[in-house]
Amino acid sequence: MAVGAPTSLPHLPEIPGFRLATAACGIKNGQATRDDLLLVAMHPQTSVAGVFTKNLVHAAPVALCRQRLPQGGAAALLVNSGNANAVTGEAGMRDARDATKAVALLLDGDPDTVFVASTGVIGVPLPMPRIFDALPDLAARLQPGGWDKAACAIMTTDTFPKAAQRIFICHDRACHLVGMAKGAGMIRPDMATMLGFLFTDAAVSPATLQTLLTRAVATSFNAITVDGDQSTNDTVLLFASGQVGNPPLDDPDHPAAAPLAKALEELCQELAQAIVRDGEGATKFVAITVTGAAHPDDAKKAAMAVANSPLVKTALAGSDPNWGRILAAVGYSGAALDPNGLSLWLGEVQVLEQGCPAPGYSEAQGASVMAAEEIAIRVDLAMGTADFTAWTCDLTHGYISINADYRT
Amino acid sequence: MAVGAPTSLPHLPEIPGFRLATAACGIKNGQATRDDLLLVAMHPQTSVAGVFTKNLVHAAPVALCRQRLPQGGAAALLVNSGNANAVTGEAGMRDARDATKAVALLLDGDPDTVFVASTGVIGVPLPMPRIFDALPDLAARLQPGGWDKAACAIMTTDTFPKAAQRIFICHDRACHLVGMAKGAGMIRPDMATMLGFLFTDAAVSPATLQTLLTRAVATSFNAITVDGDQSTNDTVLLFASGQVGNPPLDDPDHPAAAPLAKALEELCQELAQAIVRDGEGATKFVAITVTGAAHPDDAKKAAMAVANSPLVKTALAGSDPNWGRILAAVGYSGAALDPNGLSLWLGEVQVLEQGCPAPGYSEAQGASVMAAEEIAIRVDLAMGTADFTAWTCDLTHGYISINADYRT
């Protein structure tokens, strides 16, 4: 059901400072039919930055990463799919910590520099013996490259792997940036059941890396929604190995950091949009832009209210130009507005002009826009100059089928 | 698809001070196949109170009622279904005002005491000629009683009419309270596309009537959700004709007002629950109670987050005891909580005890509760003593079918 899904992953280069391996160890139900464990080993000088779910009920790996992030250094990343290790109490924290100890032992590192992420069913203990059994072989098979297999190993209900890359110049050196993500449901700003891992060989200080990641996430992973639900496990981690040898970037606003900032925002948007395209049951890919807001927060509130509205999303599924539902969502979004100032476009077709149906608009024009697989909706608030774009998908029978039967 | 819908309306008595008539005038599409216009004429001493949508994009009739409410008196109510008269600009306001002028002319009253409500498609002008043509006959046919036909005339996608009654004692006099409501989708607190009209023959001052209505709505119409969307037209109006002859109630906290307050809350909850039972595509009726909150707002936030979560609602549709989704919704609700203090029950079965899976809980037990048509979910936050109950339904293929094809 994915909308505009790529037929294959792009070529993803080896990046100095990172070695990968994946394994199938049957984490979800004991049947090791597909890869569900990913280990990434990193050069000891690697910097790390992270953004996590704001859900108060967060998973053990999220808590552990948050504890370890302030040190700023990373030696490894262990990711499992099939089990979220969430709502597992103290035992879950112990399991997460134990896994990092095992990785550190195998890589001869410090457990506090091992990061972990989990995704899958909530409330079920991690099958630690399976993971312990798999780790020695995994560590022995680490090798440069293999991003495509890694992107597959972190999938759950995803129908295609999501990975992308950019090249950027830093202090005259060409640098790599590769990223992968998973997520197809339980997605909204603040990144529900979304994992994203980004890797560069540029040298960047942890603080600068954190600022650049936070900025890039705001207009990418935090600008998408599939169902408005927010997960216990959302995690985006960015690792910088420094192996390209540039003078370390230590000011996010220095011109030397601009190419990385741009590459990072583009890559995060490409991955975030891939998640929406793979939204559970999605048949449409929709960009919702709000312009003319008095404040950036207003623009975001209005765009996200439209993007999350079940009535808008079912209208999209039915190719129904039911623009009243869009207006209603803008109206309850909490954004400052005057109903008589609102204008609305479906694609290039103006539907509403300052609060009234636009002269000459016909239902047939609207229906023609809504019939497409990719749809752009724009609302102008006429209150100021701030804008925001959110990406979402439609709400279909497919979403119901996937989520009414996910576990049983 | 309605859950536990009544097979017939209860007997609804005539109430002194109110006369009704309905008509089919083809407001939606020109085909006068079912009643879509309701006129209620009232005794000149009738008090009125109202609660409306908080959507900034509200319909003309909502704006007009808000303007007229402060006077406190009502002479008539005109309701149409099939057209919301929303996002219709100044012309929509003029249409609403003109309709009340016509009613006032026919009833020999003041237009400012005529209240109006509309529900249906947004952004289409009201067919005023049809309404003007229908009104004289409607006024000529006014008679006591006929609540059942009135409850049908205000329906849109509802699959059954919703009306109920209570008797209460006020200053030793037996008084009537009758109410009707419509709504099946676009429902959430703050009452999206929900109309409710309540009528009593007790004498109550407008200020006291308003306080009693506001309180009753908080724990009834504002405690339900079908899809989390919020409409442009939500309106609850309460009229008190005073014809029973009691000394007027003028203090909402006086013991003499208690029987009315209780009857009003019960009636509003019965009607609100009927709306959820008729939720678009609903196959389950679900009560979500949050206890142990530090503050009533926290209890409400947590209960409504669970009630609105698409992932919880699809799990309900699939009879899947996927309690992790309930926990995740509580976690992102904004309610103050400690994840390690949370306890959860599905029906009588304890699933979670202070943040950990409850000893002895089995998936079969949870599945047995979730298989029922009526389900009670309780979450205890262990932060204090406040509680709140929300009512919702499941999210099914039926909802998608209804809303993907509503207009086209």
Q: Give the SS3 label for residue A191.
A: coil
Q: Do A339 and B57 touch (CB under 8 A)?
A: yes
Q: Among A122, A323, A337, whose Cβ lies nearest the Cβ of B56?
A: A337
User: A271: closest CA among A213, A198, A341?
Assistant: A198
In tens digits, chain A (408 residues) has pLDDT values of 578 777 788 889 999 999 999 999 999 888 888 999 999 999 999 999 999 988 888 899 999 999 999 999 999 999 999 999 998 888 999 999 999 999 999 999 999 999 999 998 888 899 999 999 999 999 999 999 999 999 999 998 888 999 999 999 999 999 999 999 998 654 543 334 789 999 999 999 999 999 999 999 999 998 887 665 667 888 999 999 999 999 999 999 999 999 999 999 999 999 999 998 988 788 999 999 999 999 999 999 999 999 988 889 988 988 988 898 899 899 989 999 998 899 999 999 999 999 888 989 998 999 999 999 999 999 999 999 999 999 999 888 888 887 776 554
| Rounded CA separation B227/B307 (Å) | 9
Distance of CA B1 to the CA centre of its chain: 19
Which domains, from first to last, does chain B contain?
18-277 (3.60.70.12), 285-404 (3.10.20.340)
Phi, psi dihedral angles at A323 (to 5 degrees): -70, -20
Closest residue in B to A188 (Cα–Cα): B332
Q: Which of A115-129, B133-147, B234-248 has the lowest mean pLDDT?
A: A115-129
User: A49: closest CA among A180, A206, A158?
Assistant: A206
Contacts of A270 (CB under 8 A, 6+ apart): A164
- As annotated, the active-site residues of B are 193
Report CA-CA distances (Å) from B228 to A98, A328, B186.
Answer: 41, 12, 7
Q: Do B328 and A399 touch (CB under 8 A)?
A: no
| Rounded CA separation A332/A346 (Å) | 20
pLDDT of amino acid B115: 98
Q: How does residue B408 score in pLDDT terms, banded at 50, 70 and 90?
A: very low
> Between A and B, how many residue pairs show a Cβ–Cβ distance under 8 A?
214
**ipTM score of the complex?**
0.80
Report CA-CA distances (Å) from A352 to A155, A357, A380, A387.
Answer: 41, 4, 10, 18
Q: Considering A22, A156, A193, A208, which one is annotated as catalytic?
A: A193
Q: Among B122, B229, B400, whose Cβ lies nearest the Cβ of A396?
A: B400
Contacts of A39 (CB under 8 A, 6+ apart): A20, A21, A22, A76, A77, A78, A103, A135, A138, A139, A142
Contacts of B89 (CB under 8 A, 6+ apart): A340, A355, A356, A357
Residues of A in Cβ contact (< 8 Å) with B56: 331-332, 337, 339
Q: Among B123, B227, B322, whose Cβ lies nearest the Cβ of A310?
A: B227
What is the DSSP code string of B244-256? Answer: T-PPPB--TTSGG
Long-range CB pairs of B254-262 (<8 Å, 24+ gap) are B256/B170, B256/B171, B257/B170, B257/B204, B257/B208, B257/B212, B259/B168, B259/B169, B259/B170, B260/B168, B260/B170, B260/B175, B260/B177, B260/B200, B260/B202, B260/B204, B260/B212, B261/B212, B261/B215, B261/B216, B262/B168
Q: What is the pLDDT of residues B196-233, one digit of tens each?
A: 999 999 999 999 999 999 999 999 998 887 665 667 88
Residue among B188, B320, B363, B400 with most chain A CBs within 10 A, to mutate: B400
Q: How many CB atoms lie within 10 A of CB B268?
A: 27
Paired sense of beta strands B18-23 and B285-293, if any: unpaired
Report CA-CA distances (Å) from B238 to A59, A360, B41, B112, B146.
Answer: 48, 41, 14, 17, 18
Q: Which amino acid is at A299?
A: A
**Beta strand spans in A133-212 (E):** 162-170, 173-182, 195-200
User: Cα B339–B341–B345 angle (5° rounding)?
Assistant: 100
